[in-house]
Amino acid sequence: MPDQTPSDMPAQKPAGAMPQSIVPHGPVGRLIGWVRELLNWQANNWALLHLPPEARVLEIGFGTGRLATMCLKRGGVIYYAGVDPSHIMVQSVRRRLAALKLDTRFELKESDDRGLDWPDASFDAILAVHSFHFWCDPEATLHKVGRLLAPGGRLILVQRMHGRKPPAWLPNSFCREKDQRAGARRALIRAGFSITQDRRINPRSYGIVAEYHRYDLN
């Protein structure tokens, strides 16, 4: 069942004010999106393999919606939600998922990682495939991700590696470090996650599965 919400959270800045690499817009943005879809096939397949059964799924940065489509077609995903800062991607993916004519409910919002405004414990899995380096506030977002995960839920993060000289324009400071993998691990552990899997998917991608630990203070 398609998203019934008529309005989406607006992006933090107009698309034209943001670099195409961060918020694709216009014809060039569509081309960038589809090139990324072709490059992400291994990362998407790896992420899909680590989804739990009967899962409520949130994806941060769904791009062209290829992984969203895979989630809904796979079966076992009972609810899919996603955020992406690109207006053209949100509109395109909404049409793409509706065309599947499946019963699974989905909800899409136009926002970056700061717009995760669902109730606590809403999801069994949260996906971020090659979007972590675009997060504007990674530490706050990881804490929010932890609260959004239901007990026993998992974060499935695929990190794009940028070599020893990552571009200075990357919003995520952990991904501007020389050792971006170590930066991501440090951020996760600092936010209260334990890493259960950490492996290289291909020369440019690392996959991490992490679980969040809630502490009972009573």
In one-letter notation, the amino acid at residue 169 is: W
pLDDT reported for residue 215: 56
Strand ranges, E, within the chain: 55-60, 77-84, 105-110, 123-129, 149-160, 193-202, 205-212
Q: Which CATH number fits domain 22-212: 3.40.50.261, 3.30.450.90, 3.40.50.720, 3.40.50.150?
A: 3.40.50.150
State the sign of the Cα–Cα–Cα–Cα dihedral 146, 208, 192, 115: negative
Please state, in angstroms and rounded to a whole number, the distance separating the CA atoms of residues 10 and 111.
6
| DSSP 8-state class, residue 52 | P
CA-CA distance, 199 to 213, in Å (whole number)? 21
This prediction has a pTM of 0.82
| Kind and range of the H or E run holding 31 | helix 26-39
* Per-residue pLDDT, 106: 96
**Cα(5)–Cα(108) distance, rounded to whole angstroms?**
9
Chain segment 155-197, per-residue pLDDT in tens: 999 998 866 777 777 878 888 888 888 999 999 999 999 999 9
Higher pLDDT, residue 89 or 118: 118
On the question of pLDDT at 77 being above 50, the answer is yes
Query: What percentage of the chain has pLDDT greater than the value 90?
Result: 61
Burial of 168 (0-12, 13-18, 19+ CB in 10 A): exposed
Taking residues 85-102, report their average pLDDT. 93
Return the pLDDT at 178: 85
Kindly indicate the confidence band of residue 18, based on its pLDDT and cuts at 50, 70 and 90: low
Query: pLDDT averaged over the chain?
Result: 83
The full set of domain ranges for the chain reads: 22-212
pLDDT, tens digit (0-9, with 9 covering 90-100), for 145-157: 999 999 999 999 9
